[in-house]
Amino acid sequence: WGKTGHRVTGEIAQEHLTGKAKRALEDLLDGHSLAFVSTFADDIKADRSFSKYSAWHYVNYPLGVGYKDSEKSEYGDIVTAIEDCIKKVKDKNNSREDRVFHLKLLIHFIGDLHQPMHASREEDKGGNDIQVQWFGQGSNLHRVWDKNLIESYGMTYTELAHELTDVDRKQRKTIQEGSIYDWVDESHEICAELYDSVEIGQKLGYRYSYDYNDLLFQQLQKGGLRLAKVLNDIFA
């Protein structure tokens, strides 16, 4: 996601933390909100000393295949990244600095895991090479899902989060079920449908924004609730 998607994810998660997780996070993040730190992993991309983390934002494997059966990248991927971050944050033998660094990455990667084009395929770099028009401007399928679609609703991240944070207990439990492996395959399956529904060079605008409103909002909501789940488990 772009900044808005990550902040919405963080803001929704913030509303679903246990007391224990809230206190632990307030301490580790020096009082900053999840929304505030959620873009950190993108902010460090410009610094070449952090280049080893660039492959951690996504995973590509053939459509129709499950993550577990896929060939893994030697540079790591979003799934191994999340596992590694959880381990680093949990281990109190690690320095506070190291735990905080990986916590900020974790908050970001759980968001990206729910952007369908971040659980994608290699051939076109997760839709980055699928050029399309967005309201008459050049874009690509990846960018449409990172930011164009979210921005088309003209809502701030707090407005979006407010819209998505109210779920009943049963619905929340259902969304929070499963593992990282289930969640990545779910995004990957959605990604396959998104590829099927566009053609190269297609003009996208109001119709696309309307048709994918529900799916976009669902992915943001799942990201937020599942981030809360992962954090609640870590600090239980």
Binding test (CB under 5 A) with Zn ion, winner from 11, 77, 112, 124 = 112
| DSSP tag of 64 | T
Residue 121 found at the interface with Zn ion (CB under 5 A): no
Binding test (CB under 6 A) with ligand ADE, winner from 6, 118, 226, 229 = 118
Beta strands in 90-173 (DSSP E): 119-120, 131-134, 137-140
Tokens of 196: 């099927």
Residue 148 found at the interface with ligand ADE (CB under 6 A): no
Write the CA distances from 93 to 79, 87, 96, 109, 155, integer angstroms. 23, 11, 9, 23, 42
Binding string, residues 38-77; x marks residues near ligand ADE by CB under 6 A: -------------------xx-x-----------------
Binding test (CB under 5 A) with Zn ion, winner from 103, 146, 180, 230 = 146
Instruction: Say which entry of Zn ion, ligand ADE, none residue 10 contacts (CB below 5 to 8 A, set by partner kind).
Output: none
Closest listed residue to residue 184, CA positions, set 82, 39, 53, 42: 82
Q: How many CB atoms lie within 10 A of CB 36?
A: 15
Question: Given the rule CB under 6 A, which residues bind ligand ADE?
Answer: 57-58, 60, 117-118, 120, 125-126, 128
Residues found near Zn ion in the complex (CB under 5 A): 57, 112, 146
